[in-house]
């Protein structure tokens, strides 16, 4: 479908823009309060800050930031910097912010519940301090590790129910879909904003990834 190809083209363009941004090696932005001046994002000194963000997923079934079983978190954060990025788009599912029985699971419990004993073993080797953190504290620790390398973070609500994104009929695609309760979504966004309000390297939130599915109404949006 044209719409699908257009979306693919847009995604490719985004990747190209991100890669181009990476190759220009944007200056590392210190963890500071940003504001806007006319059309620019600026730091407290009024200097323009360009965000070059790479995606890092934490929205899959175990709600554990991907890769923690492979490399120490500081090494991954360092790699983000060495690749020329100054920002991470860190994904999460709304359930992390609204379902206490999920957010209070430990990394170990969640990985084992999903049959990921090998990954739990990898976390024990590479990030032993994470294994018995709750899922919410684990996300905070990832944000802090990025902050230690002056990497900015945009918290990205990717889905409501933890899991791979995105299918057209996965129940997470559009307002009111099976797993996309809009009241719960707003609560979740508010909770995340509150939890991370005082974390200086969190500079923004993206409200929802990729609206989609049979109930979407692009004609109404003139897209
Ligand atoms: C909350 O999370 C728990 C643990 O993952 C899960 O079993 C339960 O179904 C979730 N509740 C809701 C309302 O999604």
CA angle 99, 193, 59 (to 5 degrees): 50
pTM equals 0.86
Q: What does the domain layout of the chain look like in residue ranges?
A: 52-212
Q: Which of 104, 214, 221 is nearest to 167 (CA)?
A: 214
Is there a contact between 213 and 168 (Cβ–Cβ < 8 Å)? yes
Q: Which atom of ligand 1 is nearest to the CA of 95?
A: 14
Query: Is any ligand 1 atom within 6 A of the Cβ of residue 102?
Result: yes
Q: Can you give the pLDDT of all 223 residues of the chain as single tens digits? A: 334 444 444 444 444 344 444 444 555 555 578 899 999 999 889 999 999 999 999 999 999 999 999 999 999 999 999 999 999 999 999 999 999 999 999 999 999 999 999 999 999 999 999 999 999 999 999 999 999 999 999 999 999 999 999 999 999 999 999 999 999 999 999 999 999 999 999 999 999 999 999 888 878 776 5
With a 6 A CB cut-off, is 95 part of the ligand 1 pocket? yes
Q: Whose CA is nearest to atom 4 of ligand 1?
A: 102
Rounded to whole angstroms, the Cα distance separating 10 from 219 reads 18
Instruction: Name the residue at shortest CA distance from atom 13 of ligand 1.
Output: 99
Distance from the Cα of residue 193 to its chain's centroid:
13
Q: Which CATH architecture has domain 52-212?
A: Alpha-Beta Barrel (3.20)
């Amino acid at each position: 479908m044209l719409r699908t190809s257009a979306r693919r083209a847009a995604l490719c363009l985004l990747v190209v823009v991100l890669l181009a941004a990476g190759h220009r090696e944007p200056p590392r932005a210190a963890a500071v309060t940003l504001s806007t001046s006319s059309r620019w994002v600026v730091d407290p000194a009024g200097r323009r800050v360009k965000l070059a963000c790479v995606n890092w997923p934490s929205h899959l079934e175990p709600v554990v930031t991907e890769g923690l079983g492979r490399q120490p978190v500081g090494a991954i954060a360092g790699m983000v910097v060495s690749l020329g990025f100054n920002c991470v788009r860190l994904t999460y599912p709304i359930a992390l912010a609204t379902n206490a029985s999920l957010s209070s699971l430990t990394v170990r419990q969640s990985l084992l519940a999903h049959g990921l004993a090998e990954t739990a073993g990898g976390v024990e080797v590479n990030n032993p301090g994470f294994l018995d953190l709750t899922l919410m504290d684990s996300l905070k620790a990832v944000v802090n590790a990025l902050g230690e390398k002056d990497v900015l973070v945009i918290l990205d609500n990717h889905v409501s129910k933890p899991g791979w994104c995105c299918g057209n009929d996965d129940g997470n695609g559009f307002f009111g879909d099976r797993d996309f309760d809009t009241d719960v979504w707003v609560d979740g966004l508010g909770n995340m904003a509150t939890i991370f309000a005082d974390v200086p390297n969190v500079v923004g939130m993206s409200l929802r990834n990729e609206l989609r599915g049979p109930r979407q109404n692009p004609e109404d949006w003139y897209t």
